[in-house]
Structure 1
Amino acid sequence: MMLCVMELKDASVKFEAIEDDYDDELNLSMFNIQFEHGYFKIPKFNVDDKTETFFRNLISYKQHSLEDDKHKYFSDYTFFMDLLISTKEDVNKLCHDEVPNNWLGDDKEVALMFNILGKGMFISEQFYYAEQCSKVKAHCKRWSNRGVASLKRDYFSNIWVTVATISVAFLLLLSMTHTVIALVTIIIPPLSRH
């Protein structure tokens, strides 16, 4: 359905942590994940020793609830996080962007937790994050997004590589200009000779 964090990064997707702003009485839900203009905006959350048990209990309750809920938010959330997080590198990138507060300390444990929570889960046809997944797919299909990310990763990831690339481009341009001027002076005789 969707690429993981590191694959999304290769398509120039950025991640931004959002927090509740209690001064403005804005109560953001942990489920309020949005994708806009190449940015995934994900509410901050804590991962500690109790997180897996907390999610398991809520998922179990919601999956077996007799209520006719159209959306199983906790199930959809953990399934969505499992899509985003495949490896410890995905967790590391999200932690770098301050999305999760990893109190477990080990990125691999967090990845494993979400991978286990997402397995064998029943997801309804009204997947809560379907719209966000569609937006991400459309973003990733644009060649320009992958191209720009590839250039940044391959040529502009290191300041010295960037300086060398710009220097080579400048010298190439200077050499081409010199060649064109030399050819013009050879092909077109000076006007003063006539």
Structure 2
Amino acid sequence: MANPVPSSKGWTKNISSMASGVYFPLDHIPDPSLQFYRSQKNSKNSSSASVIIKDQRTRNGSESESECCIYRVPERLRRLNPEAYSPRFIAIGPLHHGKEELQAMEEHKLRYLQSFIPRTDLSIEELVETVRTWEERARNCYAEPLKLSSHDFVKMMIIDGSFLVELILKFRYPELVGESDRIYKKPRMVYDVVRDMILLENQLPGFVVKAIFGLLSVHYRERIHPEIIHHFFGFVLSMNGFSQGKFISEPDHFIDLIRSRCLPSVPHRSEAQTKKLDTPPAAIELNNAGVRFKLEKTRSYSLDISFANGVITIPTIIIGDLTETLYRNIIAFEQCHYESASDNYFTQYALLLSCFMKSAMDADFLARCGILVNRLGNGEDVSRLFNSIYKEVFVSRFYFQTLSEDLNSYCNKPWNKWKATLRRDYFKNPWSVASVLAAAVLLLLTFTQTVCSILALS
């Protein structure tokens, strides 16, 4: 274990009562200047923090606009399903901070802070001074002015950031979970918390989470795999091969991280549409035209969908309780964040799926093909989800335009439909094949006998 924080700082005494809400040491620390180097007298303990601070100080104000990445969901999207964008159990970040209905989880966050502090080599005073240097950059990440005071904002980053780090650490290393842990000892609560962690309005900037991971002592940093967050979301969201995918090096936040995992292996910018979007037929119609569906087993939630020689290959599509929330929030992020419509890859992916699953029969067919894993219950629920998720979304370019044109072209050729009919109605099993062959032989014999009779009469 990491060396405990020296008791002379008063942390052991203060933290014991912190979870009960009696005392919170951050409230009693005066706002210090940013001259953190005055604590270099204990250089061993402050070395990791100093590196982070130096990195923050190299930044300048000209970057503030480009750092904006956390938004309020536009009203046109929110009114379609307000629940999909609102936290139910926990507030992460400033946008829902202090809401009365989310106060029950504040005690849990303080308990996790209590666990986090001994895993660092910093006192509470040093932690506050370190995090305070991130404030300006963190505020620039939010699209709207924040009403929290400087002190409250720093305190929020410490509590929420340490909670996220502890949650992910305990997932990776179950031996860190104590008997009194109120989250991991109630497995369903883990998913409730994760559900709130994938909301666009409920995010901490990615650099804050990364930096708080960096405050862990060497003992813990040596044990942490660089992809610990990827493994966490890959498991709880049932995203096959999540940690093996390509990721952007510095995600803006968790939503951006998950979105990056879904991007195509070789992204390309689609051209602006000069004609009506050419969307593909539904799954049943494609099947009736002879298109065969093949599962790409290595990844799920991937945009790597291809069509060649009458076969369309689609990665696993997993639909569960968190799917609508996840899809809507990634789409909302793309709608708010990207100026170029060609960057809205996930929005265009949702449009493609809505085309494939226009009805319950389409969804049930994809489930029989093994492409769709439906945990909602029935095909009607899935088709209703995709028919609604795309409303009020703006798309001027379509990444899957070429795929759609190829599928439509294939379906419009009569010969492909005839082949599909023969295969479906007459060659679907060995008995059908035998019956067709017997009928063909009988017809041939009848024709031969007729010819012979005509020749004999002549």
Match of 1:173 in 2: 444
1:186 Cα deviation after fit: 2.4
Contact 2:301 2:318 in 1 (8 A): no
1:128 Cα deviation after fit: 0.6
Structure 2 stretches of 5 or more lacking a match? 1-278
Aligned to 2:318, the other structure's residue is in SS state strand
Amino acid of the structure 2 residue aligned with 1:141: N
Match of 1:25 in 2: none
The correspondence for 2:406, drawn from 112, 118, 135, is 135
Please give the root-mean-square deviation of Cα atoms over the aligned residues, in Å: 2.0
The TM-score normalised by the length of structure 2 is: 0.37
Match of 2:334 in 1: 62
Segment drifting more, 28-37 vs 7-16: 28-37
Match of 2:375 in 1: 103
The correspondence for 1:18, drawn from 281, 292, 296, is 296
Contact 1:71 1:127 in 2 (8 A): no
1:139 Cα deviation after fit: 1.2
1:110 Cα deviation after fit: 1.0
What does 1:1-194 align with in structure 2 at a 5 Å threshold?
Answer: 1-20=279-298, 30-68=302-340, 70-124=342-396, 126-157=397-428, 160-187=431-458
More relative contact order, 1 or 2 (CA 8 Å, 6+ apart): 1
Q: Percent identity?
A: 29
1:152 Cα deviation after fit: 2.5
Cα 1:19–1:153 change in 2 (3 A) is closer
Q: Distance in 1 between matches of 2:392 and 2:432?
A: 45
Instruction: Give the number of the structure whose alpha-carbon radius of gyration is greater.
Output: 2
Q: Distance in 1 between matches of 2:311 and 2:407?
A: 9
Contact 1:71 1:128 in 2 (8 A): no
1:80 Cα deviation after fit: 0.6
Q: Distance in 2 between matches of 1:132 and 1:171?
A: 44
C-alpha deviations, 1:29-70, integer Å up to 9, x for none? 711111111111111131100000100011111112254452
Q: Distance in 2 between matches of 1:173 and 1:68?
A: 64
Contact 1:79 1:121 in 2 (8 A): no
Contact 1:48 1:104 in 2 (8 A): yes
Structure 1 stretches of 5 or more lacking a match? 22-27, 188-194
The TM-score normalised by the length of structure 1 is: 0.83
Amino acid of the structure 2 residue aligned with 1:9: N
Q: Distance in 1 between matches of 2:345 and 2:429?
A: 41
Amino acid of the structure 1 residue aligned with 2:404: C
Segment drifting more, 158-167 vs 110-119: 158-167
Aligned to 1:83, the other structure's residue is in SS state helix
Q: Distance in 1 between matches of 2:293 and 2:341?
A: 30
Q: Distance in 1 between matches of 2:436 and 2:380?
A: 36
